[in-house]
Chains A and B, each alone.
Chain A
């Protein structure tokens, strides 16, 4: 089985203290991983390390056998925080098309436009395409950025809290879409419903990584206050979690 992501003894500190400590994990091709954990646990940091936006203090990461600086071209990424310039006159359609750009590709062709239409239909955002990005609501903007991530034709899709700003219906649509996509998927979420969406494994990150290997064992949202570390670790040790 081909490995999508391999992380070995990863340590990371922004300043002095480790935010992530001795993390090792492998993610298989086409696996669906949910990442959960408390605020400040290091989930977004972990994801940024996978994308090579941050450099490990110690340890190694490979994406399909290559370092993140190269392998990230295979990743479609939806960031948690969008800190970009919303004044810029820019339509949603252009934002999505930007997903087609690469180091070698600087213009768009007919295929790109077809892909745009297709993804827009898939995400029910055709009516938003001509709107300015600054005039979209938070949830609408998130869907446009998800479309941009899909437009990169990724082998791995990494979504950092894709359902945080969207309404219930959109949330369901996003989960539904994720199930249909035949890719390696990594979804960071605070929403326990994610665990009912056919994920293969759950990563609980709170400075360290605890992996829940068998999602079919009795670990349901009702009893799982997963964001309490002790409970997850207890459930984990009983149910075959490794760490």
Chain B
């Protein structure tokens, strides 16, 4: 067991760090109904992978910058074209992925990057990624701690926030920036598919069982951490893919919870 934990130590630290991001940013994403926006940034960021390959740039740097660019573009568009935002989100989603695929096609040599992007490699988390995740988590924690009440007031009633002259645009933009950062920091290890599942399911469950946003964030982080760790051990003992194990576990809990929710709310 000790040997196993040692073997998985980077994965476990990554699990803890991503859980903190899920608790905070995942919850903010959900209460603002930004999940679709976030999925667009996550998919679109694949463009950054293509750019890194084609121009031989460092992967993490390239995807981070590209994701930040998409976040700022979306923030700008949501003020400029609020009525057409839905379609613009879809365009960015598709466009980013296509840029990534075309640029990797144009780069000579063998690439399995799309699959790596989709599934990550949770058993081999490089130390660099842990540092990056740690730094992003710290910035996110500081940001939310400083602006907690602004974030909540704006999330449920934007009109009111505007009439009080709260920094609505600034918060909106920063939220998108932090969504981009937390997604990019997670994708290499956890993969796009798992990242999307993990940023949605634990906050959804947490939202239903808590009374305020602080406890929602805490609950989402704990649920996420539990799912990842349980999935990792399950994968090890059953000798199956860790990513798939975590997603299946998350989905099973989601379905059970959803069923429970329905039977308690319907007469």
Contact = CB atoms under 8 A, between A and B. Distances in A.
Interface string B153-174: 1011111101111110000000
A89 B149 contact: no
B9 interface: no
Interface string B227-267: 00000000000000000000000000000000000000000
B150 A106 contact: yes
20 contacts: A52-B163, A53-B159, A72-B165, A73-B164, A77-B163, A82-B157, A84-B158, A85-B31, A87-B207, A88-B155, A89-B212, A90-B212, A97-B149, A101-B149, A102-B164, A103-B165, A106-B146, A106-B147, A130-B211, A148-B160
Nearest to B151: A106
A149 B166 CA distance: 15
Interface string A99-110: 101110011100
A152 interface: yes
Contact of A89 (B32, B157, B162, B213): B213
B29 to A, nearest CB: 12
A204 to B, nearest CB: 25
A94 B212 CA distance: 9
A88 B213 contact: yes
Most A Cβ at <10 Å: residue of B31, B146, B160: B160
Contacts of A108: 149
Interface string A51-70: 11100000000000000011
A98 B212 CA distance: 14
B145 to A, nearest CB: 10
A116 interface: no
A101 B155 contact: no
Contact of B215 (A51, A69, A82, A89): A89
B156 A133 contact: yes
Contacts of A148: 160
Contacts of B65: none
A98 B160 contact: yes
A46 B166 CA distance: 22
A107 B149 contact: yes
A30 B157 CA distance: 28
A126 interface: no
Interface of B: 31-33, 146-147, 149-150, 152-153, 155-160, 162-167, 207, 210-213, 215-216
A132 interface: yes
Contacts, number: 81
B211 A53 contact: no
B213 A90 contact: yes
Contacts of B216: 89
B163 A98 contact: no
A132 B211 contact: yes
A195 interface: no
A152 B164 contact: yes
Contacts of B211: 89, 91, 130, 132
A72 B164 CA distance: 7
A77 B156 contact: no
A128 B33 CA distance: 26
A85 B155 contact: yes
Nearest to B31: A88
